[in-house]
Amino acid sequence: MRQGAEDAALRPRVCFVGLANLSHLAPDLAPPGAGGAELQQVLLARALVRRGFDVSTVVYDHGQPDGASYEGIRAFKTFRPDAGIRMVRFFHPRWTSLWQALRRADADIYYVSIAGMPVGETVLFAHRHGRKAVYRVAHDADCDPRTLIIRYGRDRVLYAWGLARADLVLAQTSAQQRLLRERFGRSSRVISSLAEPGGRQPAFAERDIDVLWVANIRTWKRPERLLELAGRLPQLSFHMVGGPCAGATAFYESVRSQATALPNVHFHGHVPYAEIGALFERARVFTGTSDAEGFPNTYLQAWAHGTPVVAFVDPESIIEQHGLGRPVASLEEMSREVAELALREPLWSEMSARCARYAERRCDSETSIAPFIDALLGLHTGPGAQTALSPRPL
């Protein structure tokens, strides 16, 4: 066997279980609502495709053809987001169609993120068919049974079951790793989130957005803090980006109504990921208003465009240690720090340069993807692992 064929045989077929992934892969076919976990899956999937991996994903049914390829990633559809009858849809069509899609994907490794029912379903499927399952932590709340953002007790049980039995658990930070060990008794491996290189990094005078906020409009993102901040700083311009999430339409409309009533707030609603970079280029400061996160993709996007971050959450104390903005503990402190950065050009310019340098190191594609590939190859070819040369029939 030639070397190239041998290398290909060692690469596992990877299926990403991310029901909202199509929102990033084909935004013209799927509605908005995907978050950072889905973005991380898609970034990793694209990177693996570029390196010769056979990659697929399992997604919602939005009427797209089953098994269609997007950027080299085959997408197998499950159920429509609103499908099924209450009390019955848990099993059919949701569980049954998910397993059918996993079967059609025929992967060696199934990779799932976001705490909830799909973690348990995916791990059970993988183990019943002699395959491997990876769970990637998406949020700090996923690491403690007391803080899980999971609506139903049934889904909490399935999540805990899957978390305990996944072949590999990946954490974003050492804090998540510690919490998983303390609260769930589960070991994990820390691998930093992926980040894409930024575009332009305009100077202070070229930026016409004082403060930028980007997130899905959910209660735990605390968008009301941004609106209160805008009220405290009427001399600054605020731009708010975020779309509605399933089950939170009323909350979204309330936030939209309040935002549009403020003269210094421009409410964009949903903006496609491919277009969001232009707003980061225009912003002097990016704000994070939630009390808990994983490692926000928006921080990485901001730094890649030379935009400092002022936020309540500072994962691994990166903001403070590297001077990439200011971590804050109160709205009063946020107001003071945001105003100082947005109005003082020398201070901002120095900090913006640090952000750009940090992002340049962090966004190196070979460096950032290597730990993921190492983890997948190790899981696939380790002791007792099944290889692509001898797949078990599904």
List the CATH number of the domain containing 128: 3.40.50.2000
The answer on pLDDT for 387 being more than 50 is no
Domain shared by 184 and 243, yes or no: no
Domain shared by 42 and 153, yes or no: yes
Count H helices and E strands in the chain, helices first: 15, 14
Domain shared by 309 and 375, yes or no: no
What would you report as the CA-atom Rg of the chain, rounded to the nearest whole angstrom? 21
Domain shared by 308 and 341, yes or no: yes
The answer on pLDDT for 4 being more than 50 is no
Domain shared by 318 and 377, yes or no: no
pLDDT at 250: 94
Domain shared by 33 and 115, yes or no: yes
**Strand-pair partners of 111:** 16, 134
Residues 6+ apart with CB under 8 A from 96: none
Output the CA–CA distances (angstroms, integers) from residue 168 to 102, 111, 249, 375, 380, in the order listed. 18, 9, 35, 9, 11
Yes or no: say if 133 and 163 are a contact pair by the CB < 8 Å rule: no
pLDDT at 91: 66
Q: What is the mean pLDDT of the chain?
A: 91
Domain shared by 174 and 209, yes or no: no
Domain shared by 246 and 272, yes or no: yes
In a domain, 391, yes or no: no
Tell me the whole-structure pTM to 2 decimals.
0.89
Range of the domain at 56: 3-194+364-381
The answer on pLDDT for 394 being more than 70 is no
Average pLDDT over residues 154-183: 97
Domain shared by 338 and 248, yes or no: yes
Count of structural domains within the chain: 2
The answer on pLDDT for 35 being more than 90 is no
Domain shared by 176 and 118, yes or no: yes
353-387: b (≥16 Cβ within 10 Å) or e: ebbbebbeebbeeeebbeebbebbeebbbeeeebe
Q: Give me the percent of the chain exceeding a pLDDT of 70.
A: 93
Domain shared by 101 and 175, yes or no: yes
In a domain, 35, yes or no: yes
Output the CA–CA distances (angstroms, integers) from residue 75 to 156, 206, 240, 347, in the order listed. 27, 41, 32, 47
Tokens found for residue 70: 């997007």
